[in-house]
Amino acid sequence: MKELIFATNNRHKIQEVSALLEGVVNIRSLEEMGLAGDIPETADTLQGNALQKATWVWERTGKPCFADDTGLEVDALDGAPGVYSARYAGEHCTFDDNVNKLLNALEGKTNRRADFRTVICLIENGEHRFFEGRVDGQILTERYGKEGFGYDPIFMPDRFAVSFAEMPLDVKNRISHRGRAVAKLVEYLKK
């Protein structure tokens, strides 16, 4: 079975994506590959960051790899935090810091529409391809659920009455932005 290096140190992402790619490819983590340190994310688009991260791994290993970048885009905040979602509350912030800042920014706002977008960049033989997934929903006024990570406790996807953090992983993976992007990657890898 083909192996792909996943350009992330985020164990939650590795768990989610590994479940989606089971039986299709073997995922190798950066840690398994002996790659340490922070991968640069200095682009101003999700696509740019995904390419930057995948290129970082490709240049160090020469092996097939992929990276993703995800952004939460909130209508009332003109698309923020967007590409800065992971560090919305500052460079070394926690998930809770980001959620708190977002909830404070939306206090008193009635428009709570938002979307999550994920862009994956796959590099094989030095060539790259992109796969994108998106899910629409709204930002809740408080946290619900203990599963997932990041903004999951305050994001409720359309046609559901629970947050991502209240869903079993298999349900979330079927409908989430990352799940949809990975499904496109799987479709490509199976060809």
Q: Of the listed 69, 97, 136, 170, which one is catalytic?
A: 69
What's the confidence (pLDDT) of residue 91? 87
Average pLDDT, the chain: 94
What's the confidence (pLDDT) of residue 1? 64
CATH code of residue 33: 3.90.950.10
Which residue range is the domain that position 168 belongs to? 3-190
The ranges of the chain with pLDDT < 50 are none
Count of structural domains, the chain = 1
What's the confidence (pLDDT) of residue 38? 79
Exposure b/e, 85-113, CB count within 10 A at least 16 = b: bbebbeeeeebeebbeebeeebeeeeebe
What's the confidence (pLDDT) of residue 82? 96
pTM for this model (two decimals): 0.90
Q: Is 69 a catalytic residue?
A: yes
What's the confidence (pLDDT) of residue 90? 93
Query: Tens of pLDDT along 104-129?
Result: 999 999 999 999 999 999 999 999 99
